[in-house]
Each structure stands twice: as C-alpha cells, then as structure tokens.
Amino acid sequence: MSEEQEQPRRRGRPATGVTPKRNVRIGETWEQGEGLAARQRLTMTAYVEEALRRHNAYVDRLLRKAEGG
C-alpha cells in the first residue's frame, strides 16, 4: 500500500499492549447492562468503562466533600 492509500484509522484504543482481564460475578445487573449497552450500540467494555468512570468521579466528589475539600 502506498503512502497515498493510507488505511483509515480504526476506532478504539491503539494496540499498545495487553490489558489484564478481570473476572467478576455480577448476575442480573450484568444482564441489564447488556441490554442497555445494546440499546446504545455500545460494547459491554465501553459501557462498563463509562459506568465505572462516572461512578468513580461521583464517589470521589462525595469523599472530597466529606473531607472538607
């Protein structure tokens, strides 16, 4: 492939190494998440990462407020 015919950039995270896999037992909450992710056309990885990011930010705000910061 010539320089003029560059492949379009792929969506998502660049391949920079192996991300460790995590195992969790969730049950019905996972199934609900799968349905919500599908309705938003998201992968479960994207859905879980966003949910954790938002929850972490929420808890961080609560703790900072409780600590007087």
The reported pLDDT for the residue numbered 13 is 65
Give this prediction's pTM: 0.66
Could you read off the pLDDT of 23-56 as tens digits, one per residue? 999 999 999 999 999 999 999 999 999 999 999 9
3-state SS, one letter per residue, for the chain: CCHHHCCCCCCCCCCCCCCCCCCCCCCHHHHHHHHHHHHCCCCHHHHHHHHHHHHHHHHHHHHHHHCCC
- 54 three-class SS: helix
Domain containing residue 48? 43-69
Residue 64 lies in a domain: yes
The reported pLDDT for the residue numbered 10 is 66
How many domains are there within the chain? 1
Residue 1 lies in a domain: no
CA distance 46 to 49: 5
The reported pLDDT for the residue numbered 9 is 67
